[in-house]
A and B are shown apart, each in its own frame.
Chain A
Amino acid sequence: AQTVTQSQPEMSVQEAETVTLSCTYDTSESNYYLFWYKQPPSRQMILVIRQEAYKQQNATENRFSVNFQKAAKSFSLKISDSQLGDTAMYFCAFISTTSGTYKYIFGTGTRLKVLA
């Protein structure tokens, strides 16, 4: 069974600084997808960034980038130039490509607070 672990329940960062959120996962599969989703207070979850396991190049979306280490099964999210609007719960998630359902397996989340 696949598992996703986020070991940082809470983090804070000063506005305009950089912060890295950690995520590790466990799977025996070789092909899968990894995601970071953001859940702002009282708002729906939205996709931040996605990484295909077969791609060696780390995904980047504007101020958000990942460090994907497939051998170590590590998938961290780096937020550069943090903004107050980045305050949210961040969930790391995994999808198996073999199941056909694309159901997500989520970690327990990291609550990020950006300080003014």
Chain B
Amino acid sequence: DTGVSQNPRHKITKRGQNVTFRCDPISEHNRLYWYRQTLGQGPEFLTYFQNEAQLEKSRLLSDRFSAERPKGSFSTLEIQRTEQGDSAMYLCASGQGALNTEAFFGQGTRLTVV
């Protein structure tokens, strides 16, 4: 399968713990996005990478959130000191090129903070 891969698929954590999610985009896709999706809502943009550079961050991305994309390949999203409000589906998407607007999504990581 050469699609976007996200791990883990599910994560249950206690409030206050740190969690890290991983996204492996489609090979050679230079654009990578993180979105957050809560129940009954559409995905909300969190951050965008072009290759290894993080070019845009949403105001939703508080200082407890950090994302990296070393070497422009896989990406990680870390949430420190998790709160119950962080419970959501975290989606990763990738895209290629300046003219291709299509994004390919992973299945997401569902985070539950208890």
Contacts and interface: CB of A to CB of B under 8 A. Distances in A.
A101 B31 CA distance: 8
A104 B103 contact: yes
Size class of B's contact patch? 20 to 34
B56 A45 contact: no
Size class of A's contact patch? 20 to 34
A102 B95 contact: yes
Contacts of B93: 104
B90 interface: no
Contacts of A44: 3-4, 105-108
Given A101-B48, A101-B56, A108 B103 contact: no
Interface of A: 4, 6, 9, 33, 35, 37, 42-47, 50, 91, 93, 95, 99, 101-109
- In the complex, the 3 A-B pairs of residues with the closest C-beta atoms, listed nearest first: A106-B42, A45-B105, A44-B105
